[in-house]
Amino acid sequence: MSNPPPAISLVDVCKRYGSVEAVRGVSLDIRDGEFLALIGPSGCGKTSTLRMIAGLETPTSGEILFYGRDVTHSKPWDRDTPLVWQGFALFPHLTVARNVEFGLRMHKVPKGERQERVQNALRTVGLEEYANRLPVQLSGGQKQRVGIARALVLNPRVLLLDEPLGALDARIGRAMQAELRRLHQELGITFVYVTHNQSEALAMADRIAIMNAGELRQVGPPREIFRQPRTRFVAEFVGANNIFSGEVREGDRHTVLVSTPQGAFRVPQRAEVPLASGDPATFVVGADRMALGAAPVGQNQVAGQISGIEYVGAAATIFLALPCDNEIRVQLPESDLERAGIDVGSTRSVTWAVGAAYVLPETTRERSSR
């Protein structure tokens, strides 16, 4: 029995605006029913990619398929992919119910069916009691839920979201993250979610696709993206990673010793990236996998001067300046910080287990191009 086609397939998609190549050779299968987050820095091509999926832009080259059907040149209204915007885009003179109903009117859905579907959509997003209010009478989070209801009332198989939480404050944004995740699980439709906020993507998505300079850099589940970045860019963009680069001094089939400007550190060998003496190597260690204090036997250690402390909720990030003009970060629970009596300007040792280091696969490409 053959596998069903992906909900969306991008096949070597490129998009140029004059001399600027905004999207370069992107190929990606988005599975039916998954929550895919498309992330990257400003100007990376993620919004252009979403607009091509929506039919608001036409690829310069390549193909876009919906459930195996070529829609590369189809109009937006022929794609069944409503788009939820960051700016809400509500009609200010229409009530909540009339805003949600608008798309059904355009599709000439009978009045009785329209009313039932609007009621169901508002119930889904928890806004039944707000049906007769105007947008000016709503909070930012409520306006965004109206925008989502307006998309869901069309019974789409795919929902596109373009930075929908970008205009909300942090508290409402966190609540909307939970709401979007609930809606996705409840409805079972495909979500394609564009954001520059890594935390949103890590919290909600089944898979994350990371773009930079118009190209896909890595696609995978959140934990894989967070713990096993494939390139230096991904390691720097997602998570609080400390990055070390140097040359392999010695090793065996289990571990190697890498000499870096920060010191010599032992890292695990990986079958995907076998290293030998003299090879270049770049590895990352998450800030949350480091600790302060003397190193237990067999662990790596480096000393630095505490240059700053940043508090984020119940956790703290400690910044340490190293003699080689580099900086590393250590994340600790705030309670651990208080017990340790850490002060800016003091010198501390930072330790991590050998297994906490992850060698970047791009090390192989660097070695092969020498």
Among residues of the chain, what percentage have pLDDT more than 70?
Answer: 96
Please count the CA atoms within 13 angstroms of the CA of 105 that sit on its side-chain side: 7
Q: Is the pTM of this model over 0.75?
A: yes
Identify which has the larger pLDDT, 359 or 270: 359
Mark which of 204, 232, 260 sits at the end of a domain.
232
Q: Is residue 193 part of a domain?
A: yes
pLDDT digit string, tens, across residues 237-270: 998 899 999 999 988 889 999 999 999 999 999 8
pLDDT computed for residue 364 by the predictor: 47
Q: Which helix (H) or strand (E) holds 103?
A: helix 96-106
Strand order across the 291-292 sheet: 291-292, 347-352, 300-312, 315-321, 327-333
CATH number at residue 337: 2.40.50.100
Q: Are residues 219 and 261 in the same domain?
A: no
Task: Please state, in angstroms and rounded to a whole number, the distance separating the CA atoms of residues 276 and 74.
Answer: 52
pLDDT digit string, tens, across residues 277-334: 899 999 999 999 999 887 787 899 999 999 999 988 788 899 999 988 789 999 988 7
CA angle 317, 357, 35 (to 5 degrees): 75
Using CA atoms, how far residue 311 sits from 136, 172, 286, 316, 337, in Å, is 36, 21, 17, 4, 10
Confidence of residue 271 (pLDDT cuts 50, 70, 90): confident
pLDDT computed for residue 171 by the predictor: 82
Task: Please state, in angstroms and rounded to a whole number, the distance separating the CA atoms of residues 218 and 210.
Answer: 5
Does the structure show a pLDDT above 80 at 368?
A: no
Q: Are residues 219 and 355 in the same domain?
A: no
> Do the beta carbons of residue 358 and residue 289 sit within 8 Å?
no
Q: How many domains does the chain have?
A: 2
Task: Please state, in angstroms and rounded to a whole number, the distance separating the CA atoms of residues 193 and 151.
Answer: 14
Tokens at 335, concatenated? 């309670």
Please count the CA atoms within 13 angstroms of the CA of 261 that sit on its side-chain side: 11
Tokens at 188, concatenated? 């079972």
Q: Are residues 225 and 261 in the same domain?
A: no
Confidence of residue 341 (pLDDT cuts 50, 70, 90): confident
Q: Are residues 165 and 46 in the same domain?
A: yes
- Backbone angle region of 68, left / alpha / beta, with phi > 0 → left and psi within -120 to 50 → alpha: left
Does the structure show a pLDDT above 90 at 208?
A: yes
Range of the domain at 66: 8-232
pLDDT computed for residue 170 by the predictor: 80
Does the structure show a pLDDT above 80 at 35?
A: yes
Mark which of 190, 216, 232 sits at the end of a domain.
232
Q: Are residues 45 and 175 in the same domain?
A: yes
Tokens at 135, concatenated? 């947008």
Instruction: Look up tokens 């869901």; give the residue.
Output: 152
> Do the beta carbons of residue 330 and residue 290 sit within 8 Å?
yes
Q: Are residues 220 and 287 in the same domain?
A: no
pLDDT computed for residue 53 by the predictor: 98
- DSSP secondary structure letters along 174-217: HHHHHHHHHHHHHH--EEEEEES-HHHHHHH-SEEEEEETTEEE
Does the structure show a pLDDT above 60 at 366?
A: no
pLDDT digit string, tens, across residues 62-116: 999 999 999 999 999 888 899 998 777 889 999 999 999 998 998 899 999 999 9
Does the structure show a pLDDT above 80 at 40?
A: yes
Mark which of 174, 201, 232 sits at the end of a domain.
232
Task: Please state, in angstroms and rounded to a whole number, the distance separating the CA atoms of residues 164 and 83.
Answer: 10
Q: Are residues 288 and 184 in the same domain?
A: no
pLDDT computed for residue 74 by the predictor: 95
pLDDT computed for residue 263 by the predictor: 92
Instruction: Look up tokens 């990055």; give the residue.
Output: 243
pLDDT computed for residue 369 by the predictor: 40
- Cross-strand pairs, 28: 10
Instruction: Give the mean pLDDT of the chain.
Output: 90
Q: Are residues 32 and 96 in the same domain?
A: yes
Does the structure show a pLDDT above 70 at 363?
A: no
Does the structure show a pLDDT above 60 at 147?
A: yes
CATH number at residue 168: 3.40.50.300
pLDDT computed for residue 330 by the predictor: 94
Q: Are residues 216 and 278 in the same domain?
A: no
Among residues of the chain, what percentage have pLDDT more than 90?
Answer: 68
